[in-house]
Chains A and B, each alone.
Chain A
Protein backbone atom coordinates (compact mmCIF):
# COMPACT_ATOMS: atom_id res chain seq x y z
CA UNK A 1 0.00 0.00 0.00
CA UNK A 2 2.76 2.40 0.93
CA UNK A 3 4.19 2.07 -2.56
CA UNK A 4 0.80 2.80 -4.08
CA UNK A 5 0.44 5.97 -2.04
CA UNK A 6 3.91 7.26 -2.79
CA UNK A 7 4.19 5.74 -6.26
CA UNK A 8 4.03 8.98 -8.21
CA UNK A 9 3.46 12.69 -7.92
CA UNK A 10 -0.22 12.12 -8.66
CA UNK A 11 -0.80 9.34 -6.14
CA UNK A 12 0.78 11.60 -3.51
CA UNK A 13 -1.70 14.28 -4.51
CA UNK A 14 -4.62 11.85 -4.25
CA UNK A 15 -3.50 10.86 -0.77
CA UNK A 16 -3.23 14.51 0.25
CA UNK A 17 -6.70 15.22 -1.08
CA UNK A 18 -8.33 12.10 0.40
CA UNK A 19 -6.84 12.64 3.86
CA UNK A 20 -7.64 16.37 3.66
CA UNK A 21 -11.29 15.68 2.84
CA UNK A 22 -11.39 13.03 5.57
CA UNK A 23 -10.10 15.61 8.05
CA UNK A 24 -12.74 18.05 6.79
CA UNK A 25 -15.47 15.47 7.44
CA UNK A 26 -14.10 15.11 10.96
CA UNK A 27 -14.24 18.89 11.41
CA UNK A 28 -17.94 18.84 10.50
CA UNK A 29 -18.73 16.23 13.15
CA UNK A 30 -16.50 17.90 15.73
CA UNK A 31 -17.98 21.35 15.17
CA UNK A 32 -21.56 20.05 15.21
CA UNK A 33 -21.13 18.36 18.56
CA UNK A 34 -19.29 21.29 20.09
CA UNK A 35 -22.02 23.63 18.90
CA UNK A 36 -24.32 21.87 21.42
CA UNK A 37 -22.87 24.20 24.05
CA UNK A 38 -25.00 26.92 22.49
CA UNK A 39 -28.18 25.15 23.65
CA UNK A 40 -27.54 26.97 26.96
CA UNK A 41 -28.66 23.96 28.99
CA UNK A 42 -25.65 23.94 31.26
CA UNK A 43 -23.83 21.68 28.82
CA UNK A 44 -26.29 18.79 29.22
CA UNK A 45 -26.73 17.97 25.51
CA UNK A 46 -23.07 18.58 24.82
CA UNK A 47 -21.99 16.24 27.62
CA UNK A 48 -24.37 13.54 26.41
CA UNK A 49 -22.86 13.68 22.94
CA UNK A 50 -19.35 13.80 24.35
CA UNK A 51 -20.12 10.73 26.39
CA UNK A 52 -21.45 8.92 23.32
CA UNK A 53 -18.38 9.81 21.26
CA UNK A 54 -16.06 8.76 24.06
CA UNK A 55 -17.69 5.40 24.75
CA UNK A 56 -19.12 4.18 21.46
CA UNK A 57 -16.93 1.40 20.06
CA UNK A 58 -17.40 2.41 16.43
CA UNK A 59 -16.49 6.01 17.18
CA UNK A 60 -13.45 4.93 19.19
CA UNK A 61 -12.28 2.78 16.30
CA UNK A 62 -12.77 5.70 13.94
CA UNK A 63 -10.59 7.78 16.24
CA UNK A 64 -7.68 5.52 15.40
CA UNK A 65 -8.43 6.08 11.73
CA UNK A 66 -8.51 9.79 12.36
CA UNK A 67 -5.03 9.82 13.90
CA UNK A 68 -3.76 7.59 11.10
CA UNK A 69 -5.27 9.93 8.51
CA UNK A 70 -3.78 12.98 10.19
CA UNK A 71 -0.33 11.41 10.35
CA UNK A 72 -0.57 10.34 6.69
CA UNK A 73 -1.64 13.87 5.75
CA UNK A 74 1.32 15.35 7.61
CA UNK A 75 3.92 12.86 6.33
CA UNK A 76 2.69 13.14 2.72
CA UNK A 77 2.57 16.93 3.07
CA UNK A 78 6.17 17.02 4.26
CA UNK A 79 7.36 14.68 1.50
CA UNK A 80 5.68 16.94 -1.09
CA UNK A 81 7.07 20.06 0.56
CA UNK A 82 10.67 18.88 0.44
CA UNK A 83 10.35 17.49 -3.09
CA UNK A 84 8.87 20.78 -4.25
CA UNK A 85 11.65 22.78 -2.67
CA UNK A 86 14.21 20.56 -4.39
CA UNK A 87 12.48 21.16 -7.74
CA UNK A 88 13.25 24.89 -7.42
CA UNK A 89 16.90 24.87 -6.31
CA UNK A 90 17.78 28.42 -7.43
CA UNK A 91 15.63 31.35 -6.37
CA UNK A 92 14.90 34.27 -8.67
CA UNK A 93 16.72 37.49 -7.87
CA UNK A 94 13.40 39.25 -8.26
CA UNK A 95 10.05 37.51 -8.14
CA UNK A 96 6.46 38.80 -7.94
CA UNK A 97 4.56 35.78 -6.66
CA UNK A 98 1.50 37.81 -5.68
CA UNK A 99 0.97 38.76 -9.31
CA UNK A 100 -0.15 35.23 -10.15
CA UNK A 101 -1.18 33.44 -6.95
CA UNK A 102 -2.43 33.84 -3.39
CA UNK A 103 -0.06 33.82 -0.43
CA UNK A 104 -2.10 31.20 1.43
CA UNK A 105 -2.03 28.83 -1.55
CA UNK A 106 1.75 28.98 -1.39
CA UNK A 107 1.87 28.61 2.40
CA UNK A 108 0.05 25.32 2.99
CA UNK A 109 2.99 23.72 4.77
CA UNK A 110 3.44 26.68 7.15
CA UNK A 111 -0.31 26.90 7.80
CA UNK A 112 -0.45 23.14 8.34
CA UNK A 113 2.43 23.35 10.81
CA UNK A 114 0.63 26.12 12.71
CA UNK A 115 -2.45 23.88 12.83
CA UNK A 116 -0.26 21.07 14.11
CA UNK A 117 1.13 23.24 16.93
CA UNK A 118 -2.40 24.22 17.82
CA UNK A 119 -3.51 20.57 17.72
CA UNK A 120 -0.80 19.59 20.20
CA UNK A 121 -2.00 22.27 22.64
CA UNK A 122 -5.62 21.36 21.95
CA UNK A 123 -5.08 17.63 22.49
CA UNK A 124 -3.26 18.40 25.75
CA UNK A 125 -6.21 20.55 26.87
CA UNK A 126 -8.95 18.01 26.23
CA UNK A 127 -8.11 14.67 24.62
CA UNK A 128 -5.27 13.88 27.03
CA UNK A 129 -7.42 14.73 30.04
CA UNK A 130 -10.49 12.73 29.00
CA UNK A 131 -8.54 9.71 27.83
CA UNK A 132 -5.55 9.52 30.13
CA UNK A 133 -4.86 11.98 32.95
CA UNK A 134 -8.41 12.83 33.98
CA UNK A 135 -10.31 16.09 34.00
CA UNK A 136 -9.15 18.96 36.16
CA UNK A 137 -12.47 20.67 36.85
CA UNK A 138 -15.78 19.31 38.07
CA UNK A 139 -15.04 15.76 37.00
CA UNK A 140 -18.41 14.07 36.62
CA UNK A 141 -22.01 14.94 36.06
CA UNK A 142 -25.18 12.85 36.37
CA UNK A 143 -27.28 13.04 33.19
CA UNK A 144 -30.36 10.91 32.47
CA UNK A 145 -29.34 8.29 34.99
CA UNK A 146 -25.74 7.99 33.77
CA UNK A 147 -22.56 9.36 35.32
CA UNK A 148 -20.49 10.95 32.61
CA UNK A 149 -17.39 13.09 32.30
CA UNK A 150 -18.20 16.78 32.58
CA UNK A 151 -16.44 18.01 29.44
CA UNK A 152 -18.54 21.15 29.51
CA UNK A 153 -17.12 22.31 32.82
CA UNK A 154 -13.64 21.46 31.56
CA UNK A 155 -14.23 23.70 28.55
CA UNK A 156 -15.43 26.52 30.79
CA UNK A 157 -12.32 26.13 32.94
CA UNK A 158 -9.88 26.04 30.01
CA UNK A 159 -11.40 29.13 28.43
CA UNK A 160 -11.13 31.33 31.51
CA UNK A 161 -7.59 32.28 30.50
CA UNK A 162 -7.26 34.98 27.87
CA UNK A 163 -4.03 33.64 26.37
CA UNK A 164 -5.64 30.24 25.80
CA UNK A 165 -8.53 31.92 23.98
CA UNK A 166 -6.02 33.81 21.83
CA UNK A 167 -4.13 30.59 20.98
CA UNK A 168 -7.42 28.98 19.94
CA UNK A 169 -8.33 31.97 17.79
CA UNK A 170 -4.94 31.75 16.05
CA UNK A 171 -5.59 28.04 15.47
CA UNK A 172 -8.94 28.83 13.86
CA UNK A 173 -7.30 31.54 11.79
CA UNK A 174 -4.66 29.11 10.46
CA UNK A 175 -7.38 26.57 9.74
CA UNK A 176 -9.34 29.19 7.80
CA UNK A 177 -6.51 29.95 5.38
CA UNK A 178 -5.54 26.26 5.10
CA UNK A 179 -9.10 25.37 4.13
CA UNK A 180 -9.59 28.38 1.86
CA UNK A 181 -7.00 26.82 -0.43
CA UNK A 182 -7.32 23.20 0.71
CA UNK A 183 -11.03 22.64 0.08
CA UNK A 184 -11.06 23.45 -3.62
CA UNK A 185 -7.55 22.11 -4.02
CA UNK A 186 -8.62 18.66 -2.84
CA UNK A 187 -11.32 18.49 -5.50
CA UNK A 188 -8.89 19.66 -8.17
CA UNK A 189 -6.41 16.96 -7.06
CA UNK A 190 -9.08 14.31 -7.43
CA UNK A 191 -9.94 15.63 -10.88
CA UNK A 192 -13.20 17.32 -9.94
CA UNK A 193 -12.85 20.65 -11.63
CA UNK A 194 -14.78 21.21 -14.84
CA UNK A 195 -16.54 24.39 -15.86
CA UNK A 196 -19.38 25.35 -13.57
CA UNK A 197 -18.73 22.46 -11.17
CA UNK A 198 -15.41 24.11 -10.43
CA UNK A 199 -17.18 27.35 -9.62
CA UNK A 200 -19.66 25.61 -7.33
CA UNK A 201 -16.83 23.83 -5.50
CA UNK A 202 -14.85 27.05 -5.15
CA UNK A 203 -17.84 28.90 -3.72
CA UNK A 204 -18.75 26.04 -1.35
CA UNK A 205 -15.13 25.83 -0.20
CA UNK A 206 -14.94 29.53 0.58
CA UNK A 207 -18.28 29.48 2.41
CA UNK A 208 -17.31 26.35 4.34
CA UNK A 209 -13.94 27.79 5.37
CA UNK A 210 -15.53 30.95 6.73
CA UNK A 211 -18.37 29.11 8.46
CA UNK A 212 -16.43 26.32 10.13
CA UNK A 213 -13.58 28.56 11.32
CA UNK A 214 -15.99 31.18 12.67
CA UNK A 215 -18.05 28.50 14.42
CA UNK A 216 -15.00 27.01 16.12
CA UNK A 217 -13.70 30.47 17.03
CA UNK A 218 -17.03 31.48 18.54
CA UNK A 219 -16.80 28.76 21.22
CA UNK A 220 -13.80 29.90 23.27
CA UNK A 221 -14.91 33.51 22.80
CA UNK A 222 -18.47 32.82 23.98
CA UNK A 223 -17.18 30.93 27.00
CA UNK A 224 -14.61 33.56 27.90
CA UNK A 225 -17.27 36.28 27.70
CA UNK A 226 -19.76 34.16 29.69
CA UNK A 227 -22.26 34.17 26.83
CA UNK A 228 -23.18 30.50 27.32
CA UNK A 229 -24.77 29.11 30.44
Chain B
Protein backbone atom coordinates (compact mmCIF):
# COMPACT_ATOMS: atom_id res chain seq x y z
CA UNK B 1 0.00 0.00 0.00
CA UNK B 2 2.84 2.35 0.80
CA UNK B 3 4.82 2.04 -2.38
CA UNK B 4 7.43 4.72 -2.90
CA UNK B 5 7.17 6.89 -5.94
CA UNK B 6 10.23 8.93 -6.78
CA UNK B 7 9.36 12.33 -8.05
CA UNK B 8 12.49 14.42 -7.68
CA UNK B 9 11.54 18.04 -7.41
CA UNK B 10 14.29 20.44 -6.46
CA UNK B 11 12.92 23.62 -4.98
CA UNK B 12 15.16 26.43 -3.89
CA UNK B 13 14.24 29.62 -2.17
CA UNK B 14 16.50 32.55 -1.61
CA UNK B 15 17.71 31.84 1.90
CA UNK B 16 21.45 31.50 2.45
CA UNK B 17 23.03 28.60 4.38
CA UNK B 18 19.78 26.77 4.89
CA UNK B 19 19.32 23.01 5.23
CA UNK B 20 18.87 20.66 2.33
CA UNK B 21 16.16 18.14 3.05
CA UNK B 22 14.65 15.11 1.39
CA UNK B 23 10.93 14.91 2.08
CA UNK B 24 8.91 11.77 1.58
CA UNK B 25 5.32 12.90 1.60
CA UNK B 26 2.12 10.89 1.34
CA UNK B 27 0.24 12.06 -1.76
CA UNK B 28 -3.31 10.89 -2.32
CA UNK B 29 -5.60 12.69 -4.77
CA UNK B 30 -8.84 11.96 -2.90
CA UNK B 31 -10.47 9.57 -0.45
CA UNK B 32 -10.90 6.83 -3.06
CA UNK B 33 -7.57 7.21 -4.86
CA UNK B 34 -4.58 4.99 -4.23
CA UNK B 35 -1.93 7.09 -2.52
CA UNK B 36 1.83 6.77 -2.41
CA UNK B 37 4.89 8.24 -0.76
CA UNK B 38 6.41 10.86 -3.04
CA UNK B 39 9.90 12.25 -2.71
CA UNK B 40 10.78 15.95 -2.84
CA UNK B 41 14.10 17.72 -2.43
CA UNK B 42 13.84 21.00 -0.62
CA UNK B 43 16.82 23.31 -0.34
CA UNK B 44 17.76 26.27 1.87
CA UNK B 45 15.37 25.56 4.70
CA UNK B 46 15.91 27.90 7.65
CA UNK B 47 16.19 26.24 11.07
CA UNK B 48 13.98 29.07 12.38
CA UNK B 49 11.03 28.00 10.28
CA UNK B 50 8.20 26.09 11.85
CA UNK B 51 7.45 22.74 10.27
CA UNK B 52 4.32 24.13 8.67
CA UNK B 53 6.27 27.07 7.23
CA UNK B 54 8.61 24.54 5.68
CA UNK B 55 5.54 22.87 4.17
CA UNK B 56 4.38 26.29 2.92
CA UNK B 57 7.71 26.74 1.14
CA UNK B 58 7.38 23.31 -0.42
CA UNK B 59 3.86 24.14 -1.58
CA UNK B 60 4.95 27.52 -2.93
CA UNK B 61 7.53 25.75 -5.05
CA UNK B 62 5.01 23.17 -6.21
CA UNK B 63 2.50 25.87 -7.17
CA UNK B 64 5.18 27.77 -9.10
CA UNK B 65 5.92 24.60 -11.01
CA UNK B 66 2.25 24.19 -11.78
CA UNK B 67 1.91 21.14 -9.56
CA UNK B 68 -0.74 20.30 -7.00
CA UNK B 69 0.35 21.56 -3.55
CA UNK B 70 0.31 19.17 -0.56
CA UNK B 71 -2.99 19.42 1.30
CA UNK B 72 -2.66 19.54 5.08
CA UNK B 73 -4.80 20.72 7.98
CA UNK B 74 -3.79 23.74 10.05
CA UNK B 75 -5.41 26.76 11.59
CA UNK B 76 -4.09 28.56 14.67
CA UNK B 77 -0.42 27.62 14.22
CA UNK B 78 0.11 28.16 17.94
CA UNK B 79 -0.79 24.79 19.40
CA UNK B 80 -4.34 25.46 20.52
CA UNK B 81 -6.75 24.45 17.77
CA UNK B 82 -5.72 20.84 17.18
CA UNK B 83 -6.01 21.05 13.40
CA UNK B 84 -2.41 20.29 12.40
CA UNK B 85 -1.93 16.56 12.18
CA UNK B 86 1.18 15.07 10.64
CA UNK B 87 2.97 11.84 11.35
CA UNK B 88 6.57 12.99 11.03
CA UNK B 89 9.49 10.58 10.92
CA UNK B 90 7.52 7.80 12.52
CA UNK B 91 5.93 9.85 15.30
CA UNK B 92 2.71 11.85 15.66
CA UNK B 93 3.56 15.59 15.66
CA UNK B 94 7.23 14.68 15.10
CA UNK B 95 10.11 13.87 17.41
CA UNK B 96 9.42 16.29 20.29
CA UNK B 97 7.18 15.84 23.33
CA UNK B 98 4.25 17.99 24.37
CA UNK B 99 4.05 19.94 21.12
CA UNK B 100 1.85 20.02 18.05
CA UNK B 101 3.18 19.92 14.49
CA UNK B 102 2.78 23.68 14.23
CA UNK B 103 5.04 24.13 17.28
CA UNK B 104 7.73 21.92 15.81
CA UNK B 105 10.62 23.86 14.32
CA UNK B 106 13.16 22.96 11.68
CA UNK B 107 15.94 23.32 14.23
CA UNK B 108 14.84 19.87 15.40
CA UNK B 109 16.24 18.54 12.11
CA UNK B 110 19.64 18.80 10.48
CA UNK B 111 21.05 19.37 7.03
CA UNK B 112 20.74 16.31 4.81
CA UNK B 113 17.90 14.73 6.79
CA UNK B 114 15.20 12.64 5.17
CA UNK B 115 11.80 13.39 6.65
CA UNK B 116 8.79 11.12 6.28
CA UNK B 117 5.48 12.97 6.40
CA UNK B 118 2.29 10.92 6.58
CA UNK B 119 -1.36 11.43 7.51
CA UNK B 120 -2.89 9.99 10.71
CA UNK B 121 -3.61 6.32 10.08
CA UNK B 122 -6.73 4.83 11.60
CA UNK B 123 -10.01 3.32 10.46
CA UNK B 124 -11.76 6.15 12.33
CA UNK B 125 -9.86 8.85 10.39
CA UNK B 126 -10.17 8.21 6.64
CA UNK B 127 -7.83 10.24 4.41
CA UNK B 128 -9.57 13.08 2.55
CA UNK B 129 -6.56 14.22 0.52
CA UNK B 130 -2.80 13.94 1.02
CA UNK B 131 -2.15 14.66 4.73
CA UNK B 132 -5.69 15.74 5.57
CA UNK B 133 -7.89 13.22 7.38
CA UNK B 134 -11.56 13.32 8.32
CA UNK B 135 -11.77 13.72 12.09
CA UNK B 136 -15.52 14.31 12.24
CA UNK B 137 -15.79 11.05 14.21
CA UNK B 138 -14.51 13.08 17.19
CA UNK B 139 -17.28 15.63 16.66
CA UNK B 140 -19.90 12.88 16.68
CA UNK B 141 -18.46 11.44 19.89
CA UNK B 142 -18.63 14.91 21.46
CA UNK B 143 -22.19 15.37 20.28
CA UNK B 144 -23.15 12.04 21.84
CA UNK B 145 -22.47 13.36 25.34
CA UNK B 146 -19.51 15.71 25.64
CA UNK B 147 -21.52 18.60 27.03
CA UNK B 148 -23.57 19.75 30.01
CA UNK B 149 -27.20 20.67 29.57
CA UNK B 150 -27.93 24.11 31.02
CA UNK B 151 -31.02 26.21 31.12
CA UNK B 152 -30.14 29.44 29.36
CA UNK B 153 -33.51 31.15 29.71
CA UNK B 154 -32.86 34.10 31.94
CA UNK B 155 -31.53 33.58 35.45
CA UNK B 156 -28.35 31.62 34.69
CA UNK B 157 -26.01 30.73 37.52
CA UNK B 158 -22.51 32.09 37.63
CA UNK B 159 -20.30 28.99 37.29
CA UNK B 160 -17.87 30.49 39.78
CA UNK B 161 -20.60 30.49 42.43
CA UNK B 162 -20.43 26.69 42.60
CA UNK B 163 -17.62 25.54 44.91
CA UNK B 164 -15.20 23.08 43.30
CA UNK B 165 -12.39 21.40 45.24
CA UNK B 166 -9.06 22.65 43.93
CA UNK B 167 -7.70 19.15 43.22
CA UNK B 168 -10.77 18.30 41.11
CA UNK B 169 -10.64 21.62 39.30
CA UNK B 170 -6.98 21.00 38.41
CA UNK B 171 -7.65 17.50 37.11
CA UNK B 172 -10.67 18.69 35.13
CA UNK B 173 -8.60 21.50 33.66
CA UNK B 174 -5.81 19.11 32.67
CA UNK B 175 -8.36 16.92 30.90
CA UNK B 176 -9.93 19.94 29.25
CA UNK B 177 -6.65 20.93 27.61
CA UNK B 178 -7.28 18.20 25.02
CA UNK B 179 -7.45 19.95 21.65
CA UNK B 180 -8.95 16.98 19.79
CA UNK B 181 -6.01 16.66 17.42
CA UNK B 182 -6.19 12.86 17.21
CA UNK B 183 -2.48 12.20 17.77
CA UNK B 184 -3.50 9.65 20.39
CA UNK B 185 -5.43 7.67 17.77
CA UNK B 186 -2.64 8.07 15.22
CA UNK B 187 -0.02 6.81 17.66
CA UNK B 188 -2.04 3.93 19.11
CA UNK B 189 -1.19 0.61 17.43
CA UNK B 190 -4.88 -0.25 17.95
CA UNK B 191 -6.20 3.00 16.48
CA UNK B 192 -8.01 3.57 19.78
CA UNK B 193 -9.63 6.88 20.69
CA UNK B 194 -9.78 6.22 24.41
CA UNK B 195 -7.39 8.98 25.48
CA UNK B 196 -9.54 11.56 23.72
CA UNK B 197 -12.81 10.12 25.06
CA UNK B 198 -11.27 9.57 28.51
CA UNK B 199 -10.24 13.24 28.60
CA UNK B 200 -13.66 14.46 27.50
CA UNK B 201 -15.49 12.21 29.97
CA UNK B 202 -13.17 13.24 32.82
CA UNK B 203 -13.42 16.94 32.13
CA UNK B 204 -17.15 16.85 32.93
CA UNK B 205 -17.28 13.98 35.43
CA UNK B 206 -14.94 15.82 37.78
CA UNK B 207 -17.03 18.97 38.00
CA UNK B 208 -20.37 19.45 39.79
CA UNK B 209 -21.99 20.75 36.60
CA UNK B 210 -21.17 17.50 34.85
CA UNK B 211 -22.40 15.20 37.60
CA UNK B 212 -26.13 14.89 36.83
CA UNK B 213 -25.55 13.53 33.31
CA UNK B 214 -22.38 11.58 33.99
CA UNK B 215 -23.76 8.08 33.44
CA UNK B 216 -25.62 8.78 30.22
CA UNK B 217 -22.64 10.76 29.02
CA UNK B 218 -20.08 8.01 29.35
CA UNK B 219 -22.42 5.34 27.98
CA UNK B 220 -23.33 7.39 24.92
CA UNK B 221 -19.80 8.58 24.18
CA UNK B 222 -18.33 5.07 24.44
CA UNK B 223 -21.12 3.72 22.26
CA UNK B 224 -20.39 6.33 19.59
CA UNK B 225 -16.64 5.71 19.89
CA UNK B 226 -17.17 1.99 19.21
CA UNK B 227 -19.55 2.73 16.32
CA UNK B 228 -16.91 4.91 14.64
CA UNK B 229 -14.57 1.94 14.25
CA UNK B 230 -11.84 2.98 16.68
CA UNK B 231 -9.90 0.12 18.28
CA UNK B 232 -9.83 -1.07 21.88
CA UNK B 233 -7.31 0.27 24.36
CA UNK B 234 -4.63 -2.25 25.42
CA UNK B 235 -3.11 0.19 27.92
CA UNK B 236 0.02 0.42 25.80
CA UNK B 237 0.41 4.06 26.83
CA UNK B 238 1.87 5.45 23.58
CA UNK B 239 -0.98 7.99 23.39
CA UNK B 240 -0.01 9.90 26.54
CA UNK B 241 3.61 10.08 25.37
CA UNK B 242 2.69 11.60 22.01
CA UNK B 243 -0.26 13.73 23.15
CA UNK B 244 0.74 17.38 22.58
CA UNK B 245 -1.08 18.26 25.81
CA UNK B 246 0.42 15.33 27.75
CA UNK B 247 -3.03 14.10 28.79
CA UNK B 248 -2.51 11.22 31.24
CA UNK B 249 -3.97 7.75 30.75
CA UNK B 250 -5.35 8.18 34.27
CA UNK B 251 -8.20 9.78 32.35
CA UNK B 252 -8.80 6.47 30.56
CA UNK B 253 -8.89 4.76 33.97
CA UNK B 254 -11.44 7.35 35.11
CA UNK B 255 -13.57 6.69 32.03
CA UNK B 256 -13.37 2.96 32.81
CA UNK B 257 -14.63 3.66 36.33
CA UNK B 258 -17.38 5.96 35.12
CA UNK B 259 -18.56 3.41 32.58
CA UNK B 260 -18.52 0.62 35.13
CA UNK B 261 -20.54 2.72 37.57
CA UNK B 262 -23.01 3.62 34.84
CA UNK B 263 -23.47 -0.04 33.92
CA UNK B 264 -23.75 -1.27 37.49
CA UNK B 265 -26.50 1.26 38.07
CA UNK B 266 -28.22 -0.26 35.04
Point out residues on A near B: beta carbons under 8 Å: 8-14, 80, 83-84, 86-97, 99-102, 105-106, 108, 181, 184-185, 188-195, 198
Contact = CB atoms under 8 A, between A and B. Distances in A.
B263 interface: yes
Nearest to B241: A100
A68 B263 CA distance: 24
Which one of A9, A86, A96 has the highest number of Cβ atoms from chain B below 10 Å of its Cβ?
A9
A88 B187 CA distance: 10
B47 to A, nearest CB: 22
B28 to A, nearest CB: 10
B222 A84 contact: no
B189 A185 contact: no
Interface of B: 1-2, 4, 24, 26, 37, 87, 89-91, 95, 116, 118, 121-124, 187-192, 194, 222-223, 225-226, 229-238, 241-242, 249-250, 252-257, 259-260, 263
Contacts of B26: 93
A2 to B, nearest CB: 15
A162 B113 CA distance: 50
A195 B168 CA distance: 13
Given A191-B253, A192-B253, A87 B124 contact: yes
A84 B191 contact: yes
Which one of B89, B225, B231, B234 has the highest number of Cβ atoms from chain A below 10 Å of its Cβ?
B234
Nearest to B242: A100
Contact of A11 (B194, B255, B263): B263
A195 B167 CA distance: 12
Given A93-B24, A101-B237, A83 B231 contact: yes
Contacts of A101: 189, 236-238, 241
Contacts of B242: 100
Contact of A86 (B121, B123, B253): B123
A210 B91 CA distance: 31
Contacts of A184: 235
Given A105-B236, A106-B189, A106-B234, 8 more contacts: A9-B222, A14-B256, A88-B189, A89-B123, A92-B116, A92-B118, A94-B118, A194-B253
Q: Is the interface of B mostly helix, strand, loop or mixed?
A: mixed
19 contacts: A8-B223, A9-B222, A9-B230, A10-B255, A13-B233, A86-B231, A87-B231, A88-B189, A93-B2, A94-B118, A97-B189, A100-B91, A100-B237, A100-B241, A102-B236, A184-B235, A188-B252, A191-B256, A193-B249
B127 to A, nearest CB: 8
A12 B231 CA distance: 12
Complex A-B, nearest 10 residue pairs according to Cβ-Cβ distance, in ascending order:
A87-B231, A191-B257, A96-B90, A87-B191, A84-B190, A100-B238, A193-B253, A100-B241, A191-B256, A101-B238
A99 B232 CA distance: 21
Given A8-B222, A9-B226, A93-B116, A83 B253 contact: no
Contact of B90 (A87, A95, A190, A191): A95
A84 B121 contact: no
B235 A189 contact: yes
B225 A9 contact: yes
B173 to A, nearest CB: 16
Contacts of A191: 253-257, 260
Nearest to B121: A90
Contact of A94 (B116, B124, B231, B238): B116
A153 B152 CA distance: 79
Contacts of B24: 93-94
A80 B190 CA distance: 9
A10 B222 contact: yes
